[in-house]
Chains A and B, each alone.
Chain A
Amino acid sequence: MDHIRELSRILGSNLITEREQKIPYMTDASYYEGDLPMAVAIPDTVDQVSAVMKYCQGNSVPVVARGGGTALTGSSIPMEDMLVISLAKFDRILEVHPEDRYAIVEPGVKLDNLNQHLQKYGFFYPPDPASSIAATVGGSISTNAGGLRASMYGTTKNWVLGLELVLPDGNKINTGGKVLKRTAGYDLTSLLVGAEGTLGIITKAIVKIWPLVESKGRILAYYDSIEKVGSAISDLKGKGITPLIAEFLDRITMHSLSQTRGLEFPETASHMLIIDIASTRESIGRELKDAEEILKKFNPISTEITTDKEEMDRIYEARKGAYSSLLSERSTMSERVVIGDIVVPASELPQALKESEEKVQKYNLTVALFGHISDGNIHANIYADIADQDHMKRVESFQHDFAMIAIMHGGSVSAEHGIGLEKKELLKMEMDETNNAYVMEIMKSIRKIFDPNGIMNRGKMFDQ
């Protein structure tokens, strides 16, 4: 069967077959390079997606769905002569219903564009991965993306009410709906969040939206040990305060932000805490003071409060761009920053960080540690020379040990970036180490029910 000819019949000019035009689809934001895809489909209707899937299922053509191409684990790159299905043309915000707290959007809408639109209504969609300028609704649902605001609002899974999905056989289904409560059988919507395109192609999403916070302020606190940082945040949360965002940065990250963004930090600070408090206009001052008093109990080098919007935006953008700032400090062109993404219960964080730092020493790597402290989510940003095999072996060993730290402390090997190619082995390790090998078997069975021919993002997440 001539796949290209048959797919051309369905897609017309929405099918890319020229080699040069296919090359840009071989990469996403990870350090993996995929294979040259067989072709790239850029459908503009759900019917086209259905027809393409029906053909691919019937002819065992492997497919990979692509959103914004911002995945950090290689989940959106093609392998083995795959057909790439780009959802870029599904870029419309279809409905916004502030009174019912939901919006209906197509998967190719970029998160920042969605929020820019929702702002007109005084609402927003909370998931905010650092790549929100380029990441799409569909892609972030497929990886269950988190972000800074997860401290208060949770990750993407908390914000998806319903999905329209084209199954591998081309049939279209709708899961969930427009309501904030629903207990109608198995929660298939939740199953599809974080599925990394292994179960079907998302063609529409009903997402929950929320009113913009009335007022917010920020506390910056600097400490000379990670234990103090961990104890401070634990006490803060223990006292019933839920920060809007709660971030920590280590010295390497602070240094790169001072180099690239001109931010200034106390010289003796080894770690920094960024705490945002959201409240009413009347209460924000008092609540910031209360929170600062708690942070002060743990002997910070200094603390400061700001409610100045420009200053807050500057720090927020700097933190969101921390990964980028680290990149600009690369010593060679072949060096990349590989991101570890573990999560532990927040109270375990100081110990997990201490153990992580020991592993950095053991493998003689340069690693910047920062993350979402309120969620216990640590990002280990490892400078990795992909041209140096020995170096990459040490990076791999560190990633293994780093993941093991998460498992030993009751956490997980992936907090918000997904599994993709990068964490396949780590996912297996987590299941084995936690005596949950059978859970992996259940996952495999579910995948097989949706995708009996194994055409959906083959080779990603886990092998069938």
Chain B
Amino acid sequence: MINDLVKELENEVGKCISCGFCESVCPTLPAAGYNLWKGARGRVILGKELLSTIKDKETINVSDSFYSCLDCQACLYVCPAGVNAGKVSHISKSIIASDTITGNQNPLAKMMARVTMRYMNPLGVREKCADWFKGMKADPDSNDLLYTGNMYQLMAYNKGMDSMRERMGKNLSEKMSSLVSTIPGLMKLTPVKRDEIIGQKMDKTLSNIALLLRKAGISFNYLGEAEPYPGTFIYDLGYLDLFEKYAKKIAKILKDSGAKRIITVDPHTYDLLKNVYPKYVDDFDLDIVHYLDLIDKSSFIGGSDSITYHEPCHFSLRDDAYNRPLETLKTVANVSLPARSGRRTKCCGGPDELIFPELTRKISEDRYRELQETKAEKIVTACPICFSNLNKGPEVIEIGDYLLSKLKN
């Protein structure tokens, strides 16, 4: 695998002419005080350096450059040479994760991957992730499986993770992470605190999504406490060998449920299952949809609400841009988009939350300000990570919650 990764990295960085256009849209560069190594062009340049290091069997300390990449891929759409710095970072993380060069593994990343492998959930809280469904009934005979991927539910643990890290300090937290990587069972002994307010909010959003589907006449199955996390972290953090094993396991669980169609509720799971799983799981033939695909746009009452919409990167900055949320919102409200939208949308900073929370804070504050500049009354998000990071005022609302309020009786 390492040879393939090296080849792939050579191809990607080889196209770069270092024009710097990517730096103008990279959200991490200004958040990192304009230190180029945490910007798109810097990552491509360091990708070249990484290749030389491997060739010369030397050492280099480049982990933070690549792990701070949000993989939003905004860089790709302004690059005249078609270089994807997100891809460069992902390949480089994969090389690092494979231990091809020493001293670059990120302990937190490794811990997340190992715990997920063990518990099918990055924090070992899979059972808790089914709480939102209490009182509702699944339809085990349905061909449709509602698959939350635990994503909304995990947002309730962000603050807990942050405060745990702050309490421990960098060194201790890294030592602890290394220990948990070796013995993943330790995660259960040091549980991360759940933020009940966020938890209830996210649970409510999931209930509203389920209600929207039901009102649209969709009867669906749900795996409850057995529902696994899709493995987004394992893939994003570059643990490709582990991811392949994991994805096969999850694909089997999904198939064994009897589902023919998987209804996803967030952009990360949607993108992973639709675009990444088929590359790692043979004959992955499940139909992957987003819940808004199944809800007729005419089900909603049109109105004159003034809203703005923050487009998630995994919907707008992928090859097959998914615009159904925006199209639906346009039928119910006056939508004014922020200056950076569509193929130039700007990430909320969420993917850096785990390892670089300070970058996330700065990026999300900047994006929130841009959304506010539209003067819209509401800011609508369509992703639990985006919501979690941009939830800085009462005007921020998740699309499922907003649309439910606009449903015709």
Contacts and interface: CB of A to CB of B under 8 A. Distances in A.
Contact of A42 (B33, B62, B82): B33
Closest 4 CB pairs between A and B?
Answer: A324-B80, A88-B34, A24-B42, A333-B14
Contact of B45 (A13, A23, A336): A23
B346 interface: no
Nearest to B43: A24
B20 A23 contact: no
A316 to B, nearest CB: 15
B398 interface: no
B34 A18 contact: no
Contact of B18 (A29, A86, A323): A29
Contacts of A42: 33-35
B18 A20 contact: no
Interface in B33-52: 33-37, 39, 41-42, 45-46, 49
A337 B61 CA distance: 32
A24 B33 contact: no
A134 B21 contact: yes
B81 A327 contact: yes
B19 A131 contact: yes
Contacts of B148: none
10 contacts: A20-B49, A24-B36, A24-B39, A69-B41, A70-B19, A131-B20, A323-B80, A324-B81, A327-B80, A328-B80
B15 interface: yes
Given A68-B23, A324-B81, A23 B17 contact: no
| Residue among A20, A70, A112 with the highest chain B CB neighbour number at 10 A | A20
B65 A133 contact: no
Contact of A134 (B19, B35, B36, B339): B19
Nearest to A67: B20
A16 interface: yes
A337 B10 CA distance: 19
B81 A29 contact: no
A112 to B, nearest CB: 7
A27 interface: yes
Nearest to B14: A333
Given A327-B80, A336-B17, 16 more contacts: A14-B33, A18-B61, A20-B46, A20-B62, A21-B35, A25-B36, A26-B45, A29-B19, A42-B35, A89-B33, A112-B24, A131-B21, A134-B20, A324-B19, A324-B80, A324-B81
A332 to B, nearest CB: 9
A92 to B, nearest CB: 12
Interface string A408-420: 0000000000000
Nearest to B34: A88
Interface string A89-117: 10100000000000000001010100010
Contacts of B45: 23-24, 26-27
Interface residues of A, number: 38
Nearest to A325: B80
Given A23-B46, A23-B49, A324-B81, A68 B20 contact: yes
Interface in A39-60: 40, 42
Contacts of A88: 34
B78 A133 contact: yes
A328 B79 CA distance: 11
B60 interface: yes
A321 interface: yes
A23 B60 CA distance: 11
Contacts of B60: 20
Interface of B: 10, 14-15, 17-21, 23-24, 30, 33-37, 39, 41-42, 45-46, 49, 60-62, 65, 78, 80-82, 339
Contacts of A323: 80
Contact of B23 (A16, A116, A134, A327): A134
Nearest to B11: A333
Contacts of A196: none
A128 interface: no
A16 B18 contact: no
Contacts of A18: 61
B134 to A, nearest CB: 49
Nearest to A135: B20
Interface of A: 13-14, 16, 18, 20-21, 23-29, 40, 42, 68-70, 86, 88-89, 91, 108, 110, 112, 116, 131, 133-134, 321, 323-325, 327-328, 333, 336-337
Contacts of A336: 17
A109 to B, nearest CB: 11
Contact of A24 (B10, B30, B41): B41
B65 A28 contact: no
| Residue among A24, A40, A86, A327 with the highest chain B CB neighbour number at 10 A | A24
Nearest to B339: A116
A333 B15 contact: yes
A53 to B, nearest CB: 19
Contacts of B34: 42, 86, 88-89, 108
Nearest to B10: A333
B37 A23 contact: yes
B63 to A, nearest CB: 9
B61 A20 contact: yes
A40 B17 CA distance: 22
A393 B19 CA distance: 24
A16 B20 contact: no
A110 B17 contact: no
A265 B161 CA distance: 58
Nearest to A21: B37
Nearest to B13: A333
| Residue among B42, B62, B80 with the highest chain A CB neighbour number at 10 A | B80
B35 A328 contact: no
Contacts of B61: 18, 20
Given A20-B49, A24-B45, A134 B24 contact: yes
Nearest to B19: A29
A293 to B, nearest CB: 36
Contacts of A337: 17
Given A323-B80, A328-B82, A20 B37 contact: yes
B20 A70 contact: yes
A69 B46 contact: no
Given A24-B45, A336-B17, A16 B35 contact: yes
A327 B49 CA distance: 22
Contacts of B62: 20
B124 to A, nearest CB: 34
A331 to B, nearest CB: 12
B61 to A, nearest CB: 5
A26 B60 CA distance: 17
A37 B366 CA distance: 31
A23 B33 CA distance: 16
Contacts of A110: 24
A82 to B, nearest CB: 15
A88 B37 CA distance: 14
Nearest to A322: B80
Contacts of B41: 24, 69
Nearest to A68: B20
A69 B49 contact: no
Nearest to B18: A27
Nearest to A66: B36
Contacts of B19: 29, 70, 131, 134, 324
